[in-house]
Structures are given as structure tokens and as C-alpha cells.
Amino acid sequence: MNVFSHPEFDNHEHLSFFCDPETGLKAIVAIHNTSRGPALGGCRMFPYASDEEALRDVLRLSRGMTYKSALANLDLGGGKSVIIGNPRTHKSDALLEAMGRHLEGLGGQYIAAEDSGTSVPDLKIMGQHTKHVAGIVERTAFDGQPSTGDPSPTTAYGTFVGLKAAVKHKLGREDLTGLKVAIQGVGNVGYRLARHLTEAGAELWVHDIHQENMQRAVDELGAHAASAEDILLLPVDVIAPCAMGAVLNDDSIPRLKTTVIAGAANNLLQRPDHDRALKDRGILYAPDFAINAGGIIDVFYERTGASPEKVRAHVEGIGRTLAEIFMRSDRSCVPTGEVANTIAEERFRKHSGVAVASRERFSGAI
Ligand code: NAD
């Protein structure tokens, strides 16, 4: 298995491979870049078919976190961890405790948060052996509501703010009354986004593979139910994919009838060149890692401590970042995803000299 010559290797600073035969733990931690601060990212548990597949995922995802945190102007670097195994059958308290001990050994260079296959209770078990876990503290959220540590409400609000910035840029309107929006996936983030949009007067179409989630949006928010085949192809002002990645692809892009894509799901573009395909069709794409940064902002402030007002103000910065991305994309004819990558690189490369100071400031607040 190649590491330094791996296609996904991007000058990652640190890779750790953990094995604990007693508990069956096999895990990889990848720290991509810490120039802005310690690497924060989810701990994913998945039954990878091979070590190679796990390595590929952790290299790719950790790099993505560097870009997301830098673009969100957080004093954080990018990292990710993967535990190889089926979360339904291989997960045990002992395995999670072993993971916690390993994370402690990294001395805070990497901070783990919830991801697919792990939950807040799992992170709390790891947290018995390390202080380097995040997203587990009950507190008051950005909107003054009690929070369990689940970042979804903040992600949904950030997506709403970003969607408004996209609508303003593309459609020249700030009032959302009567705006037509189709949401794919009305789970933790999508449903809350739908609620913000309904309150702002938008008309919604929704689809969810879980019938009860879709029905809740229909009953409680007056949304129209749409089919799986139609939801992304409706002739609406905005498509908001909030379920899964790779939905913007060779099949869907030529058939889209919208002019704005603004949704929370990660990795929406199936391939990087789909960014250009959207621009060529005149569709404004709000890059996923810019618009869905509310969650990482929330987790950051959980650890450093901040008033709800400060968190809200930072989340609202997502709108300004997107406005800058859209403006630079228009001026340069470069697609929005590529512009977002460039801005993120400007933000994390510029910080190279302050890594240690930033890390100390962050750790001191734990
Ligand atoms: P969730 O599991 O609570 O909700 C996803 C919803 O999508 C579920 O209701 C599910 O039934 C539905 N769904 C799945 N496949 C579907 C399909 N093919 N068609 C229609 N609906 C489908 O997850 P979430 O926390 O709401 O996250 C949604 C997306 O946003 C994910 O891609 C996630 O990675 C991303 N995201 C979430 C956060 C966060 O704070 N939760 C932060 C950043 C990014």
C-alpha cells in the first residue's frame, strides 16, 4: 500500500495507524494541515473492504477539513480518523476506549468529532480517556436554544444564510416570499433548513427516502411531496441537496431546471469538473464545504467557549464568504468550487507562521 505516492496524498503532515488486537481496533488518523490550528474532523467507522480504501478515505476527508475550516475562518486545521469495522457489529465500549487512548497519545494535534458510524455517546466514551474529542457538550446554541452538542441546527442555519446569499447574487432578491425551493433529504439539517425557509415565506418541495420524514415536512411546513426522480429536476429557483453526495453528475447536470444549487450535503460534485459543467450551464453552485460550515463553527466554539451571539455572527459570515466566492467567480470566469479552494488556500497558507501560537490559544481553552 503506497502512502507518500498515494494519489490522495497531499503533503499530509502526519498519519497514524492504530491497532489494538484485544478490542479489534484498527484505525487511521490523518492530519492534513495544522497551520491555522489543531486538526479537527470526524471519526468515521465503516466496514471498509480494504486498508487501501480506508487510507484513501481518510487522506481525502482530512484534506477537505483543512479547506472547510480555513474557508470558515476558524483557527483549526484539517484532520479525520477512520475506524475499520462495521459500526453495528464491531463497535464496543472497549474499542472506543482504546481509540480514546490512542487519540490522547497524539497530544491534541487531532480532535475527533462525530461522523457516520459514530455518535455523541461514542465520542463521550472516547472522551473518558482523552480531552481531544468535540461536539459532546450540552450548552446554549447560537439561537439561544439548549444544545446537546449536535451541530445540525447550526449547519442548517448556515445553509439558510448561504442560500440567501446565493439567491441575492443570482436572482437579485433578498425577500424570499414565494421563492421556490426543492430539498432532497429532510433529516436533521434538511428539515431545519425547510423550517427557516418556510418562516421566510418560501414555497417548498421535498423528497426523503424515509416516508415519515417527508410526511413531517408536508404536515408541519406545508411542503409539496415530490418523487425521488423529480426532486432535483424540478423547475424551481433553488435546489438544496441535503441527503448525500455525488448528486451533481453527468446524468443530473444537463437536466437541471434550476439556476441555484445551495444545499448542505458533502461532496455534491461527483467529479471536480462538474463545477465547470454547472458554470457553463449558468447555474450558480454554492460550494458544499463553504455553505455547510455551520457545524464545524459550532464545534469550534464548543471548545473555545463563546456567547450564542458570537457563534451566530460567525455563522452569518458564511454569507459574506459565499458572496466573495460568487463575485470572484463572475469576474474570473472560474467556477465557484475552484474559487472556494483558492480562497481557502490563501487563508491556510497565509497562517503557516502562526501555527504554534494558534494551537496554544485553542488548547488553553479546553
Ligand atoms: P440525516 O441522516 O439526519 O438526514 C439525511 C436525510 O436524507 C434523511 O432523512 C434520509 O432519510 C434522507 N436521505 C438519504 N438518502 C436519500 C435519498 N437518496 N433521497 C432523499 N433523501 C435521502 O443527515 P444530516 O445530519 O441532516 O446531514 C445531511 C447532509 O449534510 C449529509 O450529507 C451530511 O454529511 C451533511 N452535513 C451535515 C452536517 C451536520 O451538522 N449534520 C454538517 C455538514 C454537512
Q: At what angle do helices 336-349 and 51-71 cross, to 10 degrees?
A: 80
HSE of 165 in the Cβ direction (CA atoms, 13 Å)? 26
Q: Which of 80, 91, 164, 279 is the catalytic position?
A: 80
For residue 46, the cross-strand partners are: 84
Distance linking the first and last C-alpha atoms of the chain: 37
Looking up cell 471536480 gives 272
Q: Could you tell me the pLDDT band of residue 351, with boundaries at 50, 70 and 90?
A: low
Tell me the domain boundaries of the chain.
14-136, 152-292+324-344
HSE of 224 in the Cβ direction (CA atoms, 13 Å)? 13
Q: Is the pLDDT of residue 354 over 70?
A: no
Region 192-205: mean pLDDT is 98
Q: Is the pLDDT of residue 175 over 70?
A: yes
Q: What's the Cα-to-Cα distance from 180 to each of 108, 217, 308, rounded to whole Å? A: 45, 15, 31
Is 80 part of the annotated catalytic residue set? yes
Residues 140-145: contacts with CB under 8 Å, at least 24 apart:
140/308, 141/298, 141/308, 141/311, 142/298, 142/308, 142/311, 142/312, 142/315, 143/308, 143/312, 144/308
Predicted TM-score (pTM) of this structure: 0.91
Three-state SS string over 36-61 comes to CCCEEEEEEEECCCCHHHHHHHHHHH
Site to substitute for ligand 1 among 208, 218, 268, 302, most atoms within 8 A of C-beta: 208
Q: Could you tell me the pLDDT band of residue 192, with boundaries at 50, 70 and 90?
A: very high
**Does the fold of domain 152-292+324-344 match that of domain 14-136?**
yes
Model pLDDT for residues 97-108, shown as the tens digit of each residue: 999 999 999 999
Region 184-213: mean pLDDT is 97
Does 3.40.50.10860 match the CATH number of domain 14-136?
yes
Q: What percent of the chain has pLDDT over 70?
A: 95
CB-CB neighbours of 127 under 10 Å: 21
Cβ of 187 below 6 Å from ligand 1: yes
Q: Tell me the three state secondary structure of residue 133.
A: strand
Mean pLDDT check: name the lowest of 74-83, 212-221, 347-356.
Answer: 347-356
- Annotated binding-site residues for NAD(+) read 185-190
Site to substitute for ligand 1 among 118, 155, 161, 196, most atoms within 8 A of C-beta: 155
Cβ of 193 below 6 Å from ligand 1: no
Cβ of 116 below 6 Å from ligand 1: no
Q: What is the per-residue pLDDT for 358?
A: 42
Q: Could you tell me the pLDDT band of residue 317, with boundaries at 50, 70 and 90?
A: very high
In the chain, which ranges are E strands?
14-20, 25-33, 39-46, 77-84, 110-113, 139-140, 146-147, 180-184, 203-207, 224-225, 238-241, 260-261, 284-285
Cβ of 264 below 6 Å from ligand 1: yes
| Helix segments in 11-117, DSSP class H | 51-71, 93-105
Task: Give the mean pLDDT of the chain.
Answer: 93
133 in Cβ contact with 41 (< 8 Å): no
Measured in Å, residue 294 CA sits from the centre of ligand 1 at 14
Q: What is the per-residue pLDDT for 363?
A: 33
Q: Is the pLDDT of residue 199 over 60?
A: yes
Measured in Å, residue 208 CA sits from the centre of ligand 1 at 10
Q: What is the per-residue pLDDT for 352?
A: 61
Q: Which amino acid belongs to residue 311?
A: V
Q: What is the per-residue pLDDT for 361?
A: 36
CB-CB neighbours of 128 under 10 Å: 12
Model pLDDT for residues 283-307, shown as the tens digit of each residue: 999 999 999 999 999 999 988 888 9
Q: Is the pLDDT of residue 322 over 70?
A: yes
Q: What is the per-residue pLDDT for 344?
A: 96
Does 3.30.1330.30 match the CATH number of domain 152-292+324-344?
no
